[in-house]
Amino acid sequence: MKILVCISKTPDTTAKIAFTDNNTKFAQDGVQWIINPYDEWYALVRAIELKEKDPSTVLHLVNVGGADAEPIIRKALALGGDEAIRVNADSHDSFYIASQIAEVAKSGGYDLVFTGRETIDYNGSSIGGMVAELLGLPYVSLATKFELNGTTATITREIEGGEEICEVQLPVVVSCQKGMAEQRIPNMKGIMGARTKPLKVVEPAAVDALTSIVSFELPPAKAGVKLVPADNPEELVRLLHEEAKVI
């Protein structure tokens, strides 16, 4: 079996967010970059678990990004990937990124494509569905469990108010979230081995981006806290109605 896991570079959750060029670009100075947690903790680790169960499994990683993404790709290889492919492109358009991933998947003949639920910077949650459509494959989103019996995958996914269990034949595209696997940390053997694992750089396919970023803006600063005495519920109701406008 061949598995392809999509890896994205995102700012660390503790990074201070700022923008440049008239609020059209993300300010990268001093930012610590990490593997997108949904990609690493759930998609990649579950793929590694499948490989551990069947050592004949081939596990590849794909990233669409510039050379500055290579440190996080090496970390992903240290966790357990066999080989990585970096598509040498810098884009924030979901369709463009999905198209590049689909091109890699087509040429590799993968049985299973894992993505994270979403990236923690843009929160678009769109790549997996687009990749599946471009490949003409079934797609299961928001997966919390994934079991494989031969070529039949049993996938548990979140729905409103409960869970849904799906059965699908490989090949399939799956987006992964909390519950799919437990976080792992690379060990020294993995870190040393990752230095020599193949990291191929390919040029992007000719695809037109469908969206562009007009501007970013930070959320408004939090307002101060107002304390209302316990013996004055009328004032609390007034504030909720007139200021917070939630009732």
Average pLDDT by stretches of 10, the chain with 247 residues? 96 87 86 94 96 96 96 94 96 95 96 96 93 98 96 95 95 96 86 91 96 88 84 90 86
How many Å apart are CA 235 and CA 2, to the nearest integer?
63
What is the model's pLDDT at position 107? 94
Contacts of 176 (CB under 8 A, 6+ apart): 38, 42, 43, 46, 114, 115, 116, 117, 143, 146
What is the model's pLDDT at position 188? 85
Q: Are 69 and 63 in contact (CB under 8 A)?
A: yes
Architecture of domain 2-218: 3-Layer(aba) Sandwich (3.40)
What is the model's pLDDT at position 57? 96
What is the model's pLDDT at position 78? 95
Nearest alpha carbon to residue 152 among 166, 131, 164? 166
What is the model's pLDDT at position 65? 96
Which residue spans within the chain are E strands per DSSP?
2-6, 9-11, 19-20, 25-26, 33-35, 58-65, 83-88, 112-116, 139-149, 152-159, 162-169, 172-176, 199-202
Residue 174 main-chain phi, psi, to 5 deg:
-130, 130
HSE at residue 122, side-chain half, CA atoms within 13 A, is: 14
Average pLDDT score over the chain: 93
- pTM score: 0.86
Give the SS3 label for residue 58. Answer: strand
Q: Which two tokens stand for residue 179?
A: 């519950």
Residue 146, beta-bridge partner list: 155
Query: Hey, where are the domains in the chain?
Result: 2-218
Q: Are 100 and 64 in contact (CB under 8 A)?
A: yes
How many Å apart are CA 2 and CA 171, to the nearest integer?
10
What is the model's pLDDT at position 95? 97
